């Protein structure tokens, strides 16, 4: 395995909440319908994960934030469900594994992504 990319992002919860309030359409632009129903902290964590994904893959312009969805398994471990340009970029880079970690502490949410190829 070879590391193709690494990305990290931090989201300030207060600033994120202000952005969602100030721009009513923002939630639909950056989150899927399921993600948009979550708590503020969870939404911020998912946005941080998407930002970290974009950084790790040097994602192309035109990528829609909703092409990247963060889901959790029965144990709460997060992972990505990708479509359209996000899925195409993963295939283009030969990525076989995406590792995702999300953490929340006080006023911030953070996410870290490692992309591996065989």
Out of 2-6, 20-24, 56-60, 81-85, which region has the weakest mean confidence (pLDDT)? 56-60
Query: Which two tokens mark 80?
Result: 């990505």
Question: For residue 85, what pLDDT band results from cuts at 50, 70 and 90?
Answer: very high
99 catalytic? Reply is no
50 catalytic? Reply is no
Mean pLDDT across the chain, nearest whole number?
96
Among 19, 36, 93, 104, which one carries the catalytic annotation? 104
φ, ψ of residue 17 to 5 degrees: the values are -60, -45
Among 38, 55, 78, 93, which one carries the catalytic annotation? 55
pTM attached to this predicted model? 0.95
Residue 108 has pLDDT above 90, yes or no: yes
φ, ψ of residue 52 to 5 degrees: the values are -65, -40
Residue 61 has pLDDT above 90, yes or no: no
Query: What is the SS3 string spanning 3-54?
Result: EEEEEEEEEEHHHHHHHHHHCCCHHHHHCCCCHHHCCHHHHHHHHHHHHHHH
Gap between the Cα atoms of 107 and 38, Å rounded: 17
């Amino acid at each position: 395995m070879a590391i193709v990319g690494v990305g990290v992002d931090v989201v300030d919860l207060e600033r994120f909440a202000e952005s969602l309030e100030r721009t009513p359409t923002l939630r639909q632009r950056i989150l899927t319908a399921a993600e948009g129903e979550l708590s503020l902290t969870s939404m911020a964590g998912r946005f941080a994960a998407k930002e970290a994904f974009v950084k790790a893959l040097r994602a192309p312009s035109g990528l829609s934030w909703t092409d990247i969805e963060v889901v959790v398994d029965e144990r709460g471990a997060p992972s990505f469900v990708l479509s359209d340009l996000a899925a195409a970029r993963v295939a283009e880079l030969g990525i076989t594994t995406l590792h995702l970690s999300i953490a929340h502490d006080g006023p911030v949410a953070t996410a870290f992504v490692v992309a591996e190829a065989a």
